[in-house]
């Protein structure tokens, strides 16, 4: 889903531990560090906040991906893991592993790899769009990784 909700190389620059945006897959009612927040559950007025989408995401594709994931969970009668009430950013790697808390993809390439393996997301985006989307995002990542950026010039040209 991250390849859809975070579609650009730069989408992942805000998804780093210790900042406002989440980097771990978990949920909570009060805690702001998890990916999903369900604040103040109140019957029909309950809302769910998905906290990772980038403003560059296509809202129609992002909503489709989120709804498909939710409906798939309902259809399969999945039970969510326990709520995480402690600050995930302060948890050690051992605590994360013990609580079965995984991280979101760290960059667009990882997100596209996950997207390509996810049958539900491929089906949701559609047979006619998914392959073209994957190809475009792989091309974008390749272009990014093979481009020398101004930061690199500023940082290394004088030193080496």
Q: Total structural domains in the chain?
A: 1
Q: Is the pTM of this model over 0.85?
A: yes
Give the pLDDT confidence of 13-34 residue by residue, as tens digits: 989 877 778 899 999 988 878 8
For residue 151, give its domain range.
2-156
For residues 33 and 148, what is the distance between their CA atoms, to the nearest angstrom?
33
CATH of residue 129? 3.30.590.10
């Amino acid at each position: 889903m991250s390849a859809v909700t975070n579609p650009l190389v730069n989408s992942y620059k805000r998804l780093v531990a210790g900042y406002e945006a989440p980097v771990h897959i978990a949920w909570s009612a009060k805690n702001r560090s998890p990916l999903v927040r369900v604040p103040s559950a109140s019957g029909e007025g309950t809302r769910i906040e998905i906290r990772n989408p980038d403003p560059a995401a296509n809202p129609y594709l992002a909503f489709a991906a989120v709804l498909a994931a939710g409906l798939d969970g309902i259809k399969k009668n999945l039970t969510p893991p326990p709520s995480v009430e402690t600050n995930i950013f302060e948890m050690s790697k051992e605590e994360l592993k013990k609580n079965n808390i995984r991280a979101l993809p760290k960059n667009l390439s990882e997100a596209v790899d996950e997207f390509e393996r996810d049958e539900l997301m491929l089906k949701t985006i559609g047979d006619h769009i998914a392959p073209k989307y994957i190809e475009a995002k792989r091309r974008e990542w390749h272009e990014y990784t093979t481009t020398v950026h101004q930061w690199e010039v500023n940082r290394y040209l004088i030193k080496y």
